[in-house]
Amino acid sequence: MELQNFILVLDILGTVAFAVSGVLVAMEKRLDLFGVLIIASVTAIGGGTLRDLLIGTVPVSWMLQPEYLLTIIITVVVAILLQGRLASLRRSLFLFDTLGIGLYTIVGIERGLAAGLSPGICIILGTMTASFGGVLRDTLCNEIPVIFRKEIYATACIAGGALYFLLEALGVPGFWTYLGGILAVVLIRLVAVKFRIALPNIYRGRE
């Protein structure tokens, strides 16, 4: 599979994962069908939109490639039809959100590299790509965005991005650098939540 096609596959998978997480939040808030579609859309393409605007890619990718919006619509319909089979709403949301940030971190890094940016800036761009859709989702649903809480979220993206470049510097083949970066993000997030690892609390005397 060519590099460009592989990145597109990652991007579509990330779109599906984030769209499902948006659907789950919207249904938990008991929004109507239009509200569900909007929340799913901003979650799935919000980070990519910000990324494209920052690197000067206009029109942004989802405007030029209709498969993104089509993917979101299909995902919304399927998620609504199968909502009864999602055993635990919170657990499902967490898993899809975690998978989404792993995939989108690497997609954002690759877009940054294609624009000729340095590794450090690419990691920042990947983190923003992975995080901003969730920020929009939580803000619109009147929740404090996960990235602004103590939970390990953006930190996982940064670590996964750093591992990506480390593997690349070591001459690891392309597919394994992508997989290593994605798995690093996902596993760090899973382990952090499982063992309640969080960033330090800066507020003295408060839990």
Going from the C-alpha of 157 to that of each of 108, 124, 162, 197, the distances in angstroms are 11, 9, 9, 15
Percent of the chain at pLDDT exceeding 90? 71
Domain spans in the chain, listed from the N-terminal domain onward: 3-194
pLDDT, tens only, 62-86: 999 999 999 999 999 998 888 777 6
Q: What's the half-sphere exposure (Cβ side, CA atoms, 13 Å) at 126?
A: 37
**Against a cut of 0.85, is the pTM above it?**
yes
pLDDT at 192: 92
pLDDT tens across 9-38, in order?
A: 889 999 999 999 999 899 989 999 999 999
How much of the chain, in percent, has pLDDT values that exceed 70? 92
Provide the CA 102 distance to its chain's centre, in angstroms: 6
Terminal CA-to-CA distance of the chain, rounded, Å?
A: 49
Contacts of 88 (CB under 8 A, 6+ apart): none
Which residues does 8 contact at the CB level (< 8 Å), separation at least 6?
none
Please report which confidence band the pLDDT of residue 205 belongs to, taking 50, 70 and 90 as the band edges. low
Asked if 125 contacts 117 with a C-beta cutoff of 8 angstroms, the reply is yes
